[in-house]
Chains A and B, each alone.
Chain A
Amino acid sequence: MKNLKLLVNPLNNENPITVQVLGICSALAVTVQMKPAIVMALSVIVVTAFSNLIISLGRNTIPPRIRIIVQLVVIAFLVILVDQFLKAYMYDVSKKLSVFVGLIITNCILMGRLEAFAMSNKPMDSFLDGIGNGAGYGLILIAIATVRELFGSGSLLGYQVVPQGFYELGYRDNGMMILPPMALITVGVIIWVQRSYNRKLIEKNQA
């Protein structure tokens, strides 16, 4: 029961992006199209799960004064593994993502979960927490990418979905959706929708 909660909570009640405000930068950068967003989501799930597991195993031996450096080394190590894996088996996607896989190192979801959870919980719980948070991140990432790809270039996963007839009638793709500011506004609207269904997330002291 508790394990299930660890997995499911980050999808909605404790979503890393819309509630904990972690990992925004990459959410803006890789969400112009769906395919990179999905690969990015999977990579982040792998890295969060295993970095949580490793740090949690060593949580009693890591001296608190140098914990940040230790955490970053573990993260950098896992990110390099993922990067090499993508290069070997999914070369075309890896080329498209190039910089952003490296930027997982500075994705604050990782540090945030290590600091807030893995440093004070058992390895198995931390592993599940990592999977849950990676999945919660991926969910939002894919939602943003769907909106931006659909309205920005009229396609989904690279396939044209807006029929040609629409364009002949004068429909235009919204060029604004491809620009980064629209990603911010899309996230804002997603938060709005989520909180109107899940009212206990509404912030009490409005500001």
Chain B
Amino acid sequence: MENLFNLFIRNVFTENMVFAYFLGMCSYLAVSKTVKTSVGLGIAVIFVITVTVPVNWLLENYLLKAGALKWLGTSFDQVDLSFLSFLLFIAVIAAMVQLIEMVVEKVSPSLYNALGIFLPLIAVNCAILGASLFMQEREYGTIAEATVFGFGAGFGWALAIVVLAAIREKLKYSNVPAPLRGLGLAFIITGLLAIAFMGFSGIKI
């Protein structure tokens, strides 16, 4: 139990998707204009990652890994389908995103319009494919660990986008050189935040 909690904290702060691995940058920079929309996108990302990582964990351990098909019978001992992992992972993610797009369109049309093109883009949000690939690389032992890792990674991403959105809302009141307004300054702020988060990098939990 304590182990899972540590895993969560580690993935939110020291191994933050945005500031430590620079994944999921496109929607991170483009949707962070107001806190409201970024909270919406953050929740969508948390949901997609928390669902796709355990699903991909099951696929990885019962279908793809070398010897994972043992449950079908001893003759499947040698089968190694790991070359299919990219394709299967991205298919699971795309299916989940399509599902969420339909739900959001029904439940909250205003959020749907605010997210615009970036809702389908969650499918190619590298943070989400990245999380599944990290799950594969780090070989989490149980599905509980995989789920907590997914939730932590998503939560860290959501935290990062809300922080940036809050800073950008405050920046409306300062006198920024005109060509730097908006996107240019957002890049520089993200760079500075990332340098700050590098301070976490040595900490072992």
Interface residues of A (CB under 8 A from B): 18-19, 21-25, 28-29, 65-66, 68-69, 72, 76, 102-103, 105-108, 110-112, 115-116, 179-185, 187-189, 191-196, 199, 202-203, 205-207
Contact present for A203 and B25 (CB under 8 Å): no
- The reply on B33 being an interface residue by CB < 8 A is yes
Contact pick for A195, options B22, B24, B180, CB 8 Å: B180
B190 to chain A, nearest CB (A): 5
Given A28-B22, A207-B168, 11 other A-B residues pairs in contact with their CB atoms under 8 A: A28-B25, A105-B90, A105-B129, A106-B125, A111-B123, A184-B190, A185-B191, A191-B180, A191-B183, A206-B171, A207-B33
A14 to chain B, nearest CB (A): 13
Contact pick for B191, options A66, A188, A199, CB 8 Å: A188
List of B residues within 8 angstroms of A69 by Cβ: 91, 94-95, 98
Contact pick for A196, options B90, B168, B179, CB 8 Å: B179
Contact present for B183 and A182 (CB under 8 Å): no
Contact A103-B187, Cβ < 8 Å, known A69-B98, A72-B90: no
Contact A184-B179, Cβ < 8 Å, known A25-B126, A108-B124: no
List of B residues within 8 angstroms of A116 by Cβ: 117
For the complex of A and B, 9 pairs with smallest distance between CB atoms? A188-B187, A203-B182, A195-B179, A184-B191, A24-B25, A191-B184, A188-B188, A185-B191, A196-B179
Contact residues of A: prevailing secondary structure: helix
Q: Give the docked Cα–Cα distance between A171 and B22 (Å).
A: 30
Question: Residue-by-residue, is B65-101 near A (CB-CB < 8 Å gives 1, otherwise 0)?
Answer: 0000000000000000000001100110011011000
Contact pick for B121, options A28, A29, A111, A199, CB 8 Å: A111
Contact present for B181 and A180 (CB under 8 Å): no
- The reply on B204 being an interface residue by CB < 8 A is no
Interface residues of B (CB under 8 A from A): 22-30, 33, 86-87, 90-91, 94-95, 97-98, 102, 117, 120-121, 123-126, 129, 168-169, 171-172, 176-188, 190-192, 194-195, 198
List of B residues within 8 angstroms of A196 by Cβ: 178-179
List of A residues within 8 angstroms of B97 by Cβ: 68
A57 to chain B, nearest CB (A): 20
Contact present for B184 and A21 (CB under 8 Å): no
Q: Give the docked Cα–Cα distance between A50 and B133 (Å).
A: 27
